[in-house]
Amino acid sequence: MAKRNSAEPRRPSPHPFRARSFAASFPAVALALALFATGCASPGEPTARSPIVPEAVTNFAAAQSGNHVLLTFAVPTLSTAGRALDHPPTIEIYRDFEPAPASAELHPAAPKHPALLVTIPAELVPRYVAEGLFQYDDALQPSDFTDHPDSIVVYSVRTRVSGKKPSAASNIAALRVYAAPDPIGNLAGKVTPTAVVLSWTPPQKTPAGPVPALAGYRIYRGEAQSDTSASDASGSSAAAAPSNPQNTSALPGLPPSPPPLQSPLVKIGESTSPSFTDTQTEFGKTYVYSVRTVLDYSGVAVESGDSNFLAITPRDTFPPAAPKGLVVVYVPTAAGVPAHVDLSWAVSPEPDLAGYQVYRSERDDALGTRVNKQLLLTPAVRDMNVVSGRRYYYSVTAVDRSGNESAPSAVVPVNVPAGPARP
């Protein structure tokens, strides 16, 4: 092999650009390598963040209310990794109709391909939460009854905070639904001295057709808050409160809000006819009533939805009965006591009696003036202001604790003899 002459000039590098380019970029490459090494300091750590998956719902429940199904569950607050979610997840509710099982027990399997009923975006979820539970009102359509005879409805729910992966499916909520009567729309009432009397028109149809034989009605009552906007009811009339509250929002399935109540609606009685008399009321309190129709499907009682809500504030505007047995006696002057007229009458049986008023007139067709200055607490009085030679006509009224005054008693006349009435 020939040796290179040391005096021979050195050949240039065959790739001078590449050499310069690599040398020039070395600092950037070194920095990138350093950053890569820093990010992978822990062997086996994933380079991509796993999607956050909420815990599965485990307390999903469904209950029929009229021709609606109310779905409830607790919104997950933790991920499957046990970390708190930053915000409520998106809700996905699924609904399917399945053949009813042969036994009375409902143990359906989860549908392999559940049908999505509705999606509630995360930002709207708080609007559906009440008393710590998410509540969704699924309004059943007539076709849900007619197209799925002998079926059960199966619900499930998933949640998600990422578009990549939802939570596992919840527990299954399944139930058999029945066509309930349309809600009563004309519940009315009146106040009597001893009760509130309700009346309504029986419903005529269900979403699946005419109403079968009615099993009866259930009457519900709550006590309204003191600031209720309902008008007062007096005498034989009653004030109608806002009718059945409707969901005026565009949000699908948002349950309607009941009227503000101090005590919740509870069943106070049942009726087989379209009327009910509530004798357990007090004057001055505002009551809210609702009536639900009941059908019997082979031993299964199905209630309609609430009727229009009726608020009634009974007021005692009922006067007591007129006193009876008025006796009027002229008493002449005796033993230094001037002549006068004594009056007495039967004790009034009114339970809220406050007292009596006595009137004197010189005409039998006029009430006249009041004899007593203050309300009389006993059924007797003495009129010391009579004038001799006059004929007087007396009557008595009863007054209750609400200030209602009765009609006058029977008028009783008396003659004061002529002559000096006083010594």
In this structure, the answer to whether residues 215 and 302 fall within a common structural domain is yes
Note the pLDDT of residue 108: 75
Give a yes or no: residue 384 inside a domain. Answer: yes
405 belongs to a structural domain? yes
Give the CA distances from residue 101 to residues 67, 98, 106, in Å, rounded to whole numbers and listed in that order.
Answer: 22, 9, 7
SS (H, E, C) 150-186: CEEEEEEEEEECCCCCCCCCCCCEEECCCCCCCCCCC
C-alpha–C-alpha distance, residues 398 and 111, integer Å? 74
Please give the radius of gyration of the chain, using alpha carbons only, rounded to the nearest integer: 43
Token pair of 305, please? 């939805």
β-sheet bridge partners, residue 94 = 116, 156
Residue 21 DSSP SS3: helix
* Nearest C-alpha neighbor of 316 from the set 282, 289, 286: 282
| Whether residue 151 sits in one domain with residue 236 | no
- Statement to judge: residues 160 and 206 lie in one domain: no
Decide the pairing of beta strands 129-130 and 133-139: antiparallel
Q: Is residue 260 part of a domain?
A: yes
Q: What DSSP state is assigned to residue 260?
A: P
**Sequential pLDDT tens for the chain (423 residues):** 444 444 444 444 443 323 333 334 444 444 443 434 444 444 555 555 788 999 999 999 999 999 999 999 999 999 999 999 999 999 999 999 998 887 666 677 788 889 999 999 999 999 999 999 999 999 999 999 999 988 999 999 999 998 889 999 999 999 999 999 999 999 999 999 999 999 999 999 999 999 988 999 999 999 998 654 444 444 444 445 544 444 445 688 998 877 888 889 999 999 999 999 999 999 999 999 999 999 999 889 999 999 999 999 999 999 999 999 999 999 999 988 999 999 999 999 999 999 999 999 999 999 999 999 999 999 999 999 999 999 999 999 999 999 999 999 999 999 999 865 444
Question: Which residue, 259, 292, 315, sits at the end of a domain?
Answer: 315
Give the Å distances, CA to CA, from 106 to 110, 116, 147, 151, 172: 12, 21, 20, 11, 10
**Separation between Cα atoms, residue 174 and residue 135, nearest integer Å:** 16
Does 194 lie in the same domain as 148? Answer: no
Q: Are residues 167 and 261 in the same domain?
A: no
Residues 230 and 288 in one domain: yes
The secondary structure element, H or E, covering residue 234 is: strand 233-234
140 located within any domain: yes
Are 383 and 264 in a shared domain? Answer: no
In the structure encoding, which two tokens stand for residue 154, read together? 């199966």
Burial 161-192 (b: 16+ CB within 10 A, else e): beeeebbebbebbbeebbbbbbbbeebbbbbe
> How many domains, in total, are found in the chain?
3
Cα–Cα distance between 344 and 358 in angstroms, integer? Answer: 10
Q: Answer yes or no: do 280 and 336 share one domain.
A: no
Q: Give residue 228's pLDDT.
A: 45
- What residue numbers bound the domain in which 202 lies? 188-315
State the CATH number of the domain containing residue 225. Answer: 2.60.40.10
Q: What residue ranges in 74-161 does DSSP mark as E strands? A: 90-99, 116-120, 129-130, 133-139, 151-160
- Residue 358 domain flag: yes
- Domain membership of residue 11 (yes or no) is no
* 118 bridge partner residues: 93
Q: Are 310 and 199 within one domain? A: yes
Residues 225, 283 within the same domain: yes
Which amino acid does the sequence have at 295?
Answer: L
- For residue 215, being part of any structural domain is answered with yes
Contact 327, 412 (CB under 8 A): yes
Do both 266 and 300 map to the same domain? yes
State how beta strands 314-315 and 233-234 pair.
Answer: parallel
**pLDDT for position 8:** 42
Residue 322, domain member (yes or no): no
Q: Compute the residue count for the chain.
A: 423
DSSP structural state of residue 51: P
What SS3 class is residue 17? helix
413 SS3 class: strand
Same domain, 301 and 192: yes
Which region, left, alpha or beta, applies to residue 133 given φ > 0 means left and ψ of -120 to 50 means alpha?
A: beta
